[in-house]
Amino acid sequence: MYAWRTKHLSDRQATIILALCIGFFASVAAYVLHSIIHIIQHLLTSRFHADTFNWLYLMFPVVGIFLTSLFVRYVVKDNISHGITRILYAISSKQSRLKAHNCWTSVVASAITIGFGGSVGAEAPIVLTGSAIGSNLGRLFGMDKKKLILLVGCGAAAAIAGIFKAPIAGLVFTLEVLMVDLSMASLLPILTAAVTATCFTYIFMGSASLFSFHLDSMWSVERVPACIILGIACGLVSIYFIRSMSVCEGMFGKLKQHRWAKLALGGVLLSSLIFVFPVLYGEGYSAINVLLNGTSEADWNELLHNSMFSGNGKWLILFIALVILTKTFATAATNGGGGCGGTFAPSLFVGAFTGFLFSRLWNMYQVGIYIPEKNYTLLGMAGVMAGVMHAPLTGIFLIAEITNGYDMFMPLMIVSIVSVMTISIFEPHSIYAMRLAREGKLVTHHTDRSVLTLMTMDSVIERDFTAVTPDMPLGKLVNAISKSHTSFIPVLDNAGSVLGEIDITKIRHIMFRAELYNKLTVQQLMLPIAAQVGESDSMEEVMRKFDLKGTRYMPVVNVSGHLTGYISRSRAYSMYRKMVADFSAE
């Protein structure tokens, strides 16, 4: 494929054609995933009675997690959770290479999980699927690393555009959350993939929006204070969302070696929460539509159906507040127990309930001018999603596109920006980037840091060196110097640990004095090591030490403290300059 591509197509032409293919395949994957979820949910819950609780809610989620864990363990045999974080890691550390099985395994696993009631979203798995399609098509046609990053971004944009019918949201999601830099060369392929996916999704699923929404009343400047306060509330809820998810994931992480204990804990927690709050079942989009289209107490009380609260509308406010608090635990229990899904839909869900709760309390206590509940439900969705993902543009355009709520652009911008500003005080990274940022493996929009992240230690280590021992006489040291290709000689003990180094430029005045060859030893001539780095250290740390110590070479040691090679300042900076030039090129 590579030979045919290089013979018949330029890189630009090949990228556009691959973007078209990625858009088509991503839309097919999104259609298949949603279809399977709806079929499973219809088969399991279509006969439930709305006016009472259902004991089967205690069983279905456990079965779903169990089946998903079996599929992952015995069929996939790989970790496919945290799809968007996995994409970020692939960009940061694996040269945008995603495994071929990611093109379909996340679709199957998340369909089982969500269909049986897992309280997660299908978006992260489908984004992983789209990105994997882009990565593997790019590798098949022999695209270079920079083009692979772009094709991974095309897959992510196509997935979001396909699942939501929102091409602009797909574009800005990719640029805000995944992509390192934006140029005209990258804009066209991403837009091509997103528009292609959207068009085919319209063909497969019709023209209806994912959420139906009709504007109650036009936004007015008198509602700016309410929008600002809602934005602050969404930011605080986003902090709660991220930190409670992190705590729960840490709890399940401690049970990593106890698979059945994880399944039991996750299953029991999830099924218990769904039994009490049935709106937590699956993605929860039907509950969001109730809030977006309800106009009376009777409409909103539909949220209480299938639960022990059914028929008791006086508990609606408390019910909604508890759902906001428990959704993150249900999501973490789903993934922690062995299920597969993302936090995209849960953030929309929590945002909708937050916006509705805010507007209901505002109107009940007459804090200010009346605000329509359905409008603020929409704004809450944008606010919490923007805060959780640190992506205000994604929140603005996604909500506007999926609800046709373009008349709400001004309040959407206010709420999203204030939410991101609020959470940024406490959390510098999104829920997706947080894990990688802690490990120093995150590619960001900061070009210098991105280049240092993409540089690998192996690419700059010089392993061809001549070492000496501390008891070696000067005569033998001179012989070793004659065989060395560097201006330094490491001094090692019998275990291979670095004791010091010989700087040839510092001993020139005695190198040729034969009368000293048996009088002086290496131990008398060696200098202490100014700085050293570990094999697992980041290139950012390496460059920091070069700048701090001003040394020309630094030894690289393994976890046992044994020397494995040297890093040359000149070689590291030469590679850095080349990567910056490549990174910034059109």
**Distances in whole angstroms, Cα of residue 141 to Cα of each of 180, 273, 321, 577:** 23, 48, 51, 28
What is the Cα–Cα distance from 208 to 206, expressed in whole angstroms?
A: 6
Q: What pLDDT is attached to residue 585?
A: 47
The Cα-based distances of 523 to 161, 474, 501 in angstroms read 66, 10, 9
Q: Where in the chain is the domain with CATH 3.10.580.10?
A: 450-584
Please return the burial class of 32, using the count of CB atoms within 10 Å of its CB with bins 0-12, 13-18 and 19+. middle
Phi/psi at 236 (5° precision): -70, -40
Q: What pLDDT does residue 197 have?
A: 96
Q: Where in the chain is the domain with CATH 1.10.3080.10?
A: 2-205, 221-440
**Cα–Cα dist 444/450, whole Å:** 6
Q: Residues 474, 476, 479, 480: what is their CA dihedral angle, to the nearest 10 degrees?
A: -100
pTM of the model: 0.77
Task: Give burial (CB, 10 Å; 0-12/13-18/19+) of 86.
Answer: buried
Contact call for residues 557 and 532 (beta carbons, < 8 A): yes
Concatenating the DSSP letter of every residue in 515-546 gives: GGTTT-BHHHH-B--S--EETT--HHHHHHHH
Q: Are 414 and 229 in contact (CB under 8 A)?
A: no
8 Å CB contact between 534 and 556: yes
pLDDT of residue 436: 60
Separation between Cα atoms, residue 194 and residue 168, nearest integer Å: 8
* Predicted confidence (pLDDT) per residue in 187-212, tens digit: 899 999 999 999 999 999 888 777 87
Cβ atoms of 490 and 515 within 8 Å: the answer is: no
CA distance 264 to 248: 15
Measured between alpha carbons, how far is 368 from 222 in angstroms, rounded to an integer? 9
> For residue 48, what are the contacts with CB-CB under 8 A and spacing of at least 6?
54, 56, 306
**Fold entry, domain 221-440:** Clc chloride channel (1.10.3080)
Per residue in 35-63, pLDDT (tens digit) is 999 999 889 887 776 556 678 888 989 99
- Top-tier CATH class for 2-205: mainly alpha
pLDDT attached to residue 445: 47
**What is the CATH architecture of 450-584?**
Roll (3.10)
pLDDT, mean of each 10-residue run, the chain (586 residues) = 68 89 95 92 78 77 91 86 73 71 91 92 90 91 83 92 91 79 77 95 86 78 93 97 90 81 89 91 90 83 82 87 95 90 92 96 90 92 94 90 79 96 89 64 52 66 82 84 78 84 80 80 84 79 78 81 80 70 51
User: What one-character DSSP code corresponds to residue 407?
Assistant: G
pLDDT given for residue 77 in this prediction? 84
